[in-house]
Structure 1
Amino acid sequence: MLKLGSTLKGYAIEASDGAIGSISDFLFDDRTWLVRWLVVDTGNWLTGRKVLLLPTALGKAEHDRRELPAALTRAQVEASPELSEHEPVSTQMERHLYDYYNWEPIVGDSYFSENPIASRFSAPPLFGSPPAAGTPAISRDDSDPHLRSVAAIAGYHILASDGAIGKVGDLLIDDDGWGIRFLVVDTGNWWSGEHVLISPHAVKEISWAEREIRLNVSRDQVRSSPPWSPLGDIDPVYEADLRKHYDWPGRS
């Protein structure tokens, strides 16, 4: 099911023996647009601590209850490797997590795998705030250059091939396969506050330094795309029409 990332944030994570916390962010791979990690805020249970969980360790979402079950115990999560809140996730940290939980890395098929972002910039800190004084920095060589924060992208300017079209308002995530299927663009003053959907297939580059996402589609293409409301559903017919309009590949 396609769900807005903003609505998935706050979903409770339930271990086999009790609550762990709630989703505060998603980390995705910019080569495949697959969510690699869920960032979970443990709240009052492990005060001030956030943990990373692999989407494949979770069961099917219960949307009515805003919950996701996890095949873990609270003791396992509590003893898991800790990450720094003010640094990018290092490849070493990812390896520690895979080893600790005996998880396999997510390298599955994705229909975005042949359209990576040609980014020339390093990822920003994981939680968007500067490191505290005296915090040892993760070297650029050890940070994962393809791991991106969904929360960090919110508000980024969207540039078509011939000019600006708005800002990132949200992302549509498939909570079955945990792929990011569309960027929700708030067109603001350019098109009287209309919202449009843009596939990651259209993304040429993300500039973290300039907070911009550059596309390979024109403003006219965006204006003539099938209309969509943030209150509306994404049914297969609408998605097929949208992909046909832009000539985007997609699922049959």
Structure 2
Amino acid sequence: MLRSMNDLEDYAIRATDGTIGHVKDFYFDDEAWVIRYLVVDTGTWLSSRKVLISPIAIGHPNWTEKLLPVSITKEQVKNSPAIDTEKPVSRQHEIEYLGYYGYPLYWGGAMPWGGGIYPNMMMPGYAGFVSTPHAERPEVEESHARTDAARHQDDDPHLRRCKTVMTYHIQATDGDIGHVQGLLVDEETWSIRYMIVNTSNWWLGHQVLIAPQWIQDVSWPDATVSINLTRQAVKDAPPYDSAAQLDREQEMGIYKHYGLVGYWATQAKSESAIPDR
């Protein structure tokens, strides 16, 4: 099921021993278009410090209570590496963060989360995978981890704040069609499936969906997203109603309109190549 990023804001993050805080923003990977971290305000218990929570740790959400449970403790969060969420998160910061929690590096694989499409597949113990927090690693494993980290510490992490892309202009091949008003994310893979585009300056009162796969180029300095579609093609596409839940039949209609293959076909192939969840 797809969830609006705007709706997920202020969801509570509950550790195994209590509430950590509330979601305030997200970092997404601008290559894979996957949410990599939730920015969480810890409130009074940790002097309103903002911390990062990886989808790797998130269990089954309680949508009714607007709650996201995570498989970490408040003490772990308290002692986690300090990261200034008001500044870009470097690859070196990511390596320190992932190493602290004992998570493997997600980049370098053929799928969104290393060798799989679901973040919880990177949890220690999943499908035989074993990983331990930094302080508990055997000497040989720690040496390998340091070597791998050194090799990647200067990589470009491609992380962007979700709130930053709100109001970005969407440019079709023959003109502007509107601006980004929201994002729809897959609740299992944490992949961004669509940008919700407000076309009010061009086509009054309408919203349309644009998938990241249709993006031709993004100019981050100019806050502009260029897509390989015409304005007329977008205007003739099935309408999007933000008040209703988007179902697979509607998604199929959108992709069929553009003559493109849906992401779920690729996902099905990937799922067949990984161990049972």
Shorter-chain TM band: 0.7 to 0.9
| Identity within the alignment, % | 41
Name 2:180's counterpart in structure 1.
Answer: 168
Structure-2 separation of matches of 1:148 and 1:6: 16
Shift of 1:85: 3.5
Structure-2 separation of matches of 1:191 and 1:18: 47
Secondary structure of 1:86 counterpart: coil
Structure-2 separation of matches of 1:180 and 1:150: 10
Name 1:14's counterpart in structure 2.
Answer: 14
CA deviations 1:69-96 (Å, max 9, x no partner) are 0101100000000012432101111011
Name 2:41's counterpart in structure 1.
Answer: 41
Q: Which has the larger radius of gyration?
A: 2
Q: Aligned to 1:187, which of 163, 176, 199?
A: 199
For structure 2, which runs of at least 5 residues remain unmatched after alignment?
113-152, 266-277
Shift of 1:46: 1.4
What is the TM-score of this pair, normalised by structure 1?
A: 0.84
Contact 2:90–2:157, Cα closer than 8 Å, also in 1: no
Name 1:119's counterpart in structure 2.
Answer: none
Shift of 1:145: 4.7
Q: Aligned pair 1:60/2:60, yes or no?
A: yes
CA deviations 1:170-223 (Å, max 9, x no partner) are 000111110000000000120012000011111112212111111111101100
For these two proteins, the number of residue pairs brought into alignment is: 222
Name 2:80's counterpart in structure 1.
Answer: 80
Structure-2 separation of matches of 1:102 and 1:25: 24
Q: Aligned pair 1:231/2:243, yes or no?
A: yes
Name 2:98's counterpart in structure 1.
Answer: 98
CA deviations 1:104-146 (Å, max 9, x no partner) are 2334625xxxxxxxxxxxxxxxxxxxxxxxxxxxxxx947351
Matches within 5 A, 1:210-221: 210-221=222-233
Structure-2 separation of matches of 1:54 and 1:213: 26
For structure 1, which runs of at least 5 residues remain unmatched after alignment?
111-140
Shift of 1:55: 0.2
Partner amino acid for 1:21?
G
Matches within 5 A, 1:91-170: 91-107=91-107, 109-110=111-112, 142=154, 144-170=156-182
Structure-1 separation of matches of 2:90 and 2:82: 12
Matches within 5 A, 1:230-249: 230-249=242-261
Shift of 1:6: 0.2
Shift of 1:39: 1.1
Contact 2:33–2:191, Cα closer than 8 Å, also in 1: yes
Contact 2:29–2:158, Cα closer than 8 Å, also in 1: yes
Contact 2:38–2:52, Cα closer than 8 Å, also in 1: yes
Partner amino acid for 2:87?
E
| Runs of 4+ that moved beyond 6 A | none
Secondary structure of 1:190 counterpart: coil
The alpha-carbon distance between structure 1 residues 15 and 145, as it changes in their structure 2 partners (threshold 3 A), is: closer
Name 2:28's counterpart in structure 1.
Answer: 28
